Structure 1
Amino acid sequence: MNSDRLIVQKYFQRGLTGGQVFRHVEQLGITRNGVYRIISRLCDTGSIQGRPRTGRPRTCRSKKRIKRIREKIRRNPERSARKLAMNEDIDNRSMRGILKIDLDLKPYKN
């Protein structure tokens, strides 16, 4: 995706219009709307990079916490989700979400 953006940027900075850029990159699988979106972003921000995402940041399911929980489970795979939640001082449902979604673990023994 980033290489597509660079190609569109290169053609646009050479002075081609959006339609002309599209005709050059059409065979790469870039849509007309995609070309115009990249050009619009380039004109608005001066860069082809995406804007930072808005929204509430993760606090409970942060990468740091997930890594710590993965290590605890690696050391003792039979540790219960409730005890892990108590030790981490987070809600039981949040812990189960980390185990199921982030660590791809099942709630039963194999």
Structure 2
Amino acid sequence: MKKLFLLVAVAFLFQSCFSYRHEVNSSAMVMGEKYKIERNHKTRKYFYTRAADSTIVVSRLRNGKEIQIPLNEITSIRKKKFSMVKTIALIPALAASTVVAILIANPSPVGNMGEMQWPN
């Protein structure tokens, strides 16, 4: 039970207040913004740098290396957008998960108070 709770808590805590939602076309991309680009059945996150004739130039998030992607290889482009719902839901969910974690770690904080022990 503790392992299941820990797994759910870690999965929840690594959520972000941002999500990649709206599909955009290459002409509506803004320089310096983060995009999730799918091509050849692989999805990666990039910073948009500039557009060339039939390609777009992007840089990888990890190493900053610029690469050119032909437009005909791109399946979808999603823009990173702030999610107000995730942000608002995050605070009460963190408080609830903290309370549950404390209850799991310490199931009976009061102890056994039903009987009194008298010294002999």
Query: As a proportion of its length, which structure holds more strand?
Result: 2
TM-score (norm: length of structure 2): 0.29
Q: Which one has a bigger Cα radius of gyration?
A: 2
